[in-house]
Amino acid sequence: MLHTIAAFDRLGEENAFAVLARATALASQGRDIINLGIGQPDFATPPHIVEAAIKALRDGHHGYTPATGILPLREAVARDLHRRFSVDVSPDRVMIVPGGKVTMFMAILMFGELGVEILYPDPGFPIYRSMIEFTGATPIPVPIREANGFAFSAQETLSLITPRARLLILNSPANPTGGVTPKAEIDALVAGLERHPDVAVMSDEIYASMTYDGEAHVSLLSYPSIRERLIHLDGASKSYAMTGWRLGWSVWPQKLFDLARKLAVNAHSCVNAATQWAGIAALEGPQDCVKKMVEEFDKRRHVVIDGLNRLSGVSCIKPKGAFYAFPNITRSGWKAKPLASALLEEAGVAVIGGPDFGVHGEGYLRLSYANSTENILKAIERMGEFLAHRKAA
């Protein structure tokens, strides 16, 4: 008998991977499946980034690097943050990690334990809650509401902070809603956090480069009053179409940086060296590849939202960021998970049910528009046919 710790009974998952597996299985049986389920750009990594990795391997970068990452990449991250948000970040606070997820894993491990509370967005990226529960901490969902344009509310967030709260997780632009929280709301939140000096903040800004309608991304790094308790999460997965490379980075308060380094030494030693050199090419190279990708997402955003709003029983507000639409399906009579499952099995369209992102996701589906316009239109047509003819289960 193997006796693993009880915490594993509380460890969750990301259902998007299960949907991807099912969609792939159906496709391999010959079914025509359109995948709007998975959250990764459908673009190839720009060639100059790929070339930089190949060159690094040819140049002999085959060994371990420092656990915190190679210095030129940490410096490139600091320069990039200055270029985009006019903030000064010292490279010695920048940690290179294998993907955005690793930063949240580390941050939640640092603060979570029995008796403490961690606040996180709901609906939100499922790993937040999963990891909070794993540590034994109490997850406190901060509702993210359609009526608020899927932005978080400063007032509601602050009202949920108790003396047991240790960490507050924020995410804008957001998965799964595409919501972008306006600057005024972030200002109000940061001002209110002065009353809670013991609460750390983890700001997940992995979609920072993907905002639309002229909405500028507001980084939490721009607020000096919380800098010494802010963990900034970002990475190359989304902005440079590098999900499979596993490259992320984070900025840590001085007090936490060495803990993150030690966790890296215990877990993964370092990010693979060639990927780190590719990261330098991504951050220091031409940025028109990012701009082009975001422009393409923007075009598709209009297509998907207009299409969804034409379906009976469905309405969808226009998200201002990321590459997700989060349509409200309550008027269709369906619950979200059975609808997502029936759409995949019967209509060949993979989407994710809102409850996979938290209890406040009921009544919604998540569609990733990281797919061609042609496929998006075909998927919407199939959804329309399905909803017109198939009664709610």
C-beta of 276 vs 332, nearer to ligand PLP = 276
Within residues 248-287, the interface with ligand PLP by CB under 6 A covers: 248
Please give the Cα distance from 290 to 288 (Å, whole number): 5
Sequence-separated (6 or more) residues with CB below 8 Å from residue 355: 336, 337, 361, 362
**What is the contact mask toward ligand PLP in residues 334 to 373, using x (rule: CB under 6 A)?**
----------------------------------------
3-class SS string, 61-129: CCCCCCCCCCHHHHHHHHHHHHHHHCCCCCHHHEEEECCHHHHHHHHHHHHCCCCCEEEEEECCCHHHH
Residue of the chain from 135, 203, 237, 368 that contacts ligand PLP (CB under 6 A): 237
153 is an interface residue for ligand PLP by CB under 6 A: no
Distance CA 156, CA 99 (A): 30
As a whole number of angstroms, the distance between CA 281 and CA 67 comes to: 20
Nearer to ligand PLP, 271 or 387 (CB): 271
Q: Tell me, what DSSP letter sits at residue 332?
A: G
Residue count at the site for ligand PLP (CB under 6 A)? 13
- The CB density around residue 50, as the number of other CB atoms within 10 Å, is 15
Question: Which residue from 112, 179, 235, 358 is in contact with ligand PLP, where contact means CB under 6 A?
Answer: 235
Stretch 76-115: interaction string toward ligand PLP, x if CB under 6 A = -----------------------xxx--------------
Least separation in angstroms between residue 178's CB and ligand PLP is 11
We find the least distance from the C-beta atom of residue 102 to ligand PLP, in angstroms, to be: 7
Q: Which of 204, 208, 219, 240 binds ligand PLP (CB under 6 A)?
A: 204
Residue identified by tokens 């009053």 is 225
Residue 107 or 190 having the CB closest to ligand PLP: 107
175 lies in the binding site for ligand PLP (CB under 6 A): yes
Residue with Cβ nearer ligand PLP (243 or 328): 243
133 vs 137: CA distance, rounded Å: 6
Looking at the Cβ atoms of 37 and 99, the one nearer to ligand PLP is 99
DSSP secondary structure code for residue 148 in this structure: G
Specify the residue for token string 């179409």: 241
CA 183 to chain centre: 19
DSSP letter (8 states) at residue 220: G
Q: Which is nearer to ligand PLP, 279 or 348 (CB)?
A: 279
Q: Which of residues 3-62 bind ligand PLP (CB under 6 A)?
A: 39
Q: Give the residues lining the site for ligand PLP (CB under 6 A).
A: 39, 99-101, 125, 171, 175, 204, 206, 235, 237, 243, 248
